[in-house]
Every structure is written in C-alpha cells, then in structure tokens.
Amino acid sequence: MKKGWIIAAVILMSVGIALFVGASAASGLDVSYLGLDEYESNKYTIKDPFSDIEICSEDTDITFLPTNEEICTVVCDENEKVKHSVAVDNDTLRITFEDDREWFERISLFSRTLHMTVYLPSDKYDDLLVDSSTGDVFMHSDLSFKSIDVTSSTGGVTCEA
C-alpha cells in the first residue's frame, strides 16, 4: 500500500512539472505573464522651474535623461494602488512613491520591475537626492549636478553625469 502512494506521488509530480514546462514554453519563457498586477505608463508634466531633485522610491528603476523640450517630464509605471506624487515645492522637484497595497498583495514570486524616466530640460542642476530600496539609478552623461546623494539597499547606480 505504501508503495502505491509513492508511485502516485511521483506520477502527480511528473505531471505537474510537465505542465509547468509546457506553460513556460508556450509563453516564450516570459514570467511576466504570471504576475497579477497590471501597470500603465503615466506621464507627469512639470512646468514650474526647479534646481534641486528629490526622489524617494522603493523598487523603481530610475533613469535621468536630457530632453530638448522646455519642460520636465516624468514617466512612471503605475496602477490604481501604486502611484507617484510629482510636484515642485521650494525650488525642488519632489517625487514620492505611494503604495496602497495590502501586505499580502506585495507577495509575489514573479514581481515586475517598475520604471521611471525623468526627462530634464536643462543640463545643470544643484542637488540630486535619490533614496531607493531595490531600484537601479542611471544618470546620463549630458547632465550635471553640483551634488549627488544616492542611497540604495540593493539597487545598482550608474552615474555618467
């Protein structure tokens, strides 16, 4: 009797593995299909002038790029429970991450990396402060800052500025 249960367990595990491999192959090994959250790219236009930038984020990859436009544009991945607050206050562009998900909604084996791109109209700024937990930070070589302070727990930082 014990031998029958072991054989049944092995057969069921084999079928499960075969189904997983088949589903992975059918999706082109793209695990993003397994995520439950749907995100959209939202654009914020900043018309007020600023010389300092302060960003507080958790798990967003942040890229700073120059633009030929006369205004700053911030493009972020968001959904109804994950938003960014973007505003100029006291000559500082402040971008904060607002996550209204419950604790159990943050648990996922296949979480998606969120992206934020900050398009800057000028090539020179005073202070840049970025506080991130796991996101990567990239600064383009055509940008210049008087001081840069980037804090990240596990994210990578590439500073060409």
Record the pTM: 0.75
Tell me the per-residue pLDDT of 115-147, one tens digit each, with 9 for 90 and over: 999 999 987 899 999 998 888 999 999 999 999
How far apart are alpha carbons 99 and 107 in whole angstroms? Answer: 13
What confidence category does residue 148 fall into, taking pLDDT thresholds of 50, 70 and 90? very high
Range list of β-strands (E), the chain: 40-46, 52-56, 60-66, 72-78, 82-89, 92-99, 114-120, 124-132, 137-139, 144-152, 157-159
Tell me the per-residue pLDDT of 62-95, one tens digit each, with 9 for 90 and over: 999 999 988 999 999 888 888 889 999 999 999 9
How many alpha carbons fall within 13 Å on the CB side of residue 49? Answer: 5
Residue 26: in which H helix or E strand, if any? helix 2-26
What confidence category does residue 11 fall into, taking pLDDT thresholds of 50, 70 and 90? very high
Tell me the per-residue pLDDT of 30-50, one tens digit each, with 9 for 90 and over: 655 555 567 888 999 999 999
What confidence category does residue 110 fall into, taking pLDDT thresholds of 50, 70 and 90? low
The length of the chain, given as a count of residues: 161
**Residue 104 and residue 37 in contact, taking contact as beta carbons nearer than 8 Å:** no
- The β-bridge partners of 158 are 138
